[in-house]
A and B are shown apart, each in its own frame.
Chain A
Amino acid sequence: MPQQEAIKAQVIREFEAQRRVTLLRQRTQQVVVLIGFSALIAVCFHVSGFFSGSQGSDPWGRIANLLNIMIPDLKPEALFEDRGTAGSLSSWFYDMPTWLALLWETVQIAIVATLFGIFGGFWASLLASKNLSPSPYIYWLTRRTLEVIRTLPDLIVALILVAAFGVGPLPGVIAIALGTMASLGKLYSEVNEAADMRPVEAVKAVGGSWWAQVRFGILPQVLPHYASYGLLRLEINVGGAAALGVVGAGGIGIELSRAITYTEFDTYFALLILIIGLIILIDLVSEAIRHRLIGLEATA
């Protein structure tokens, strides 16, 4: 019996030792990861000028000052007077007709770019989905091309296109359409790959061409998803189009950049309010349409 007790104690001792080693290894690993992570964060903040103090000694004071110059001097008694009266709402939004025209241009850019993006994304997705692509090489090539386009931000593309097409909405439309095509191409190809292949096989079995297989086998299944993703993308593109003007590619952004150049910070604030209003409006419309689409799908 005492021999058995000794073996038991030995086993427990060994287990304890092993556990200590494992714990120590885990703790060291955690400490190393934590130190490495903190070091990375610290270096990044240092490189970004957070500790050098070059942005003034009083950041909170600066933020307060910024808010102060952004908020217009509205006078309650003159709120609804005409544009000439200082302190009225219409003197704050003093260039409303131009801004509304530019907001409409922003929406137009977003809509046209989204439509072209949907069209391009549809064709790209046919080549980039495993179950429909005519050849594995084309599949691979399309996927990689879409990936490369997705890595490039719209505004960088717009910057290059403005140099080629000149200042105006056209380079903005092309830049956003390219980005939309690349991201929708990927999403659409995933939808295509998830589609039921039996209708396609049926069309193929009765001698349908490749286009007939896509048109009657795939499209009826995927169209609601396509439309839903397209509308989501439209919401994103309205925000994106609002920034385009800063690089000269059309839309409300040109006024944002002008307001900053002429140090009209209250105008900037007014434009920001208009942009937010536009985004809310587009969101509501797009959501209503998407819900109807989902309803159609449910009843179909």
Chain B
Amino acid sequence: MTTSAVLVAPHPVTAQEMQAARAIAPHLVDTPLAVHARRLALWIGLSAVFITLCIGVDMTPAAFAKGLSKLADFMGGMFPPNAAGEEVRILQALAATFAMAVAGTFLGVLGAIPLGLLGAKTFVSNPVLHFLIRRSFDVFRAIPALVWALILIVAFGLGPFGGVIALALTDIPRIAKLYAEAIENSDPRPQEGIRATGGQRRAAIRFGLLPEVLPVMASQSLYMLESNFRNAAILGIVGAGGIGFELEERIRIFAFDQVAWIVIAYVLCVMALDYVSENIRSKLVHG
């Protein structure tokens, strides 16, 4: 039951009403001058810090405008995209990059399984040890694949081998963290049930834990594969081959029509992989 009185449009506030409101609660109507001043000072201070930081990284309107006109030239050179008769070579490089991502993810998963167990509270219950293990995952997680790749390419020579190892090293702490969380979040009751009926610890893991966490772990591994396909594309810049190498070569000679062709092909491949992987992941998790 709505009365029509509720639906009347609000009328403009009169000066009289404002007067009455001011009399009841002055601090709600007028902001005190001190508060205004404090806010203004805060904003000026923050803006000054921000502008100093911007100048520190050359983020000035002049530098920006100068590069922008050049960038516009490049963009103009991108159309129409053109592979210059090297379609097969580029697609092969994309395939090599994908292979590098798959191999790196696989090695990363292998390395992360024992570490994931170590990082799970249910396996290592000592809080200090648990904290140290998980913190070390966090720290190593932040090191980009490129930093590993630089030195591994020196050790193993130019080519995808060093790139694969770099991807695996980048992944291990990331996947280990996800696995540890998956194991910690698993329901302990099935395992307790198996132990209660006289099952060994091994049986409890095999039939109580694995059926629950394996789909989650597989889904997270696929997610890592998606991210590795992006990372693998970068590693070509430092000599791991694949699409990154083709791209860098063409940027250096300012062949932007070919750059555009490669970028479009690459984006389509990433989207296709994400689509397939997302479908498999939702099947894995929802049965």
Contacts and interface: CB of A to CB of B under 8 A. Distances in A.
Partners in one complex: yes
Given A159-B237, A159-B247, A47 B99 contact: yes
B157 A54 contact: yes
Given A48-B164, A173-B57, A165 B146 contact: no
Interface stretch (A12-20, A150-158, A223-231): A150-158
B285 interface: no
A272 interface: yes
A42 B231 CA distance: 21
A155 B234 contact: yes
B146 A246 contact: yes
A108 B237 contact: no
A169 B57 contact: yes
Interface of A is mostly: helix
A256 B103 contact: no
A111 B49 CA distance: 11
**What size tier do the contact residues of chain B reach?**
35 or more
Interface in B232-272: 233-234, 237-238, 244, 247-248, 251-252, 254, 259, 263, 266-267, 270-271
Contacts of A256: 147, 150
Contact of B96 (A47, A56, A242): A47
A138 interface: no
Interface string A156-190: 10011101111011111100000000000000000
B161 A55 contact: yes
B138 A283 contact: yes
A69 to B, nearest CB: 9
Interface of B is mostly: helix
Given A155-B146, A165-B70, A276-B143, A247 B138 contact: no
Contact of B57 (A250, A276, A283): A250
B95 A47 contact: yes
A265 interface: yes
Contacts of B238: 246
B144 A239 contact: yes
A63 B171 CA distance: 19
B147 A108 contact: no
A50 B71 contact: no
Nearest to B240: A48
B233 A242 contact: no
Given A54-B157, A170-B67, A250-B57, A275 B234 contact: no
11 contacts: A44-B103, A45-B99, A50-B161, A105-B56, A151-B270, A156-B247, A159-B237, A239-B144, A242-B144, A243-B144, A250-B57
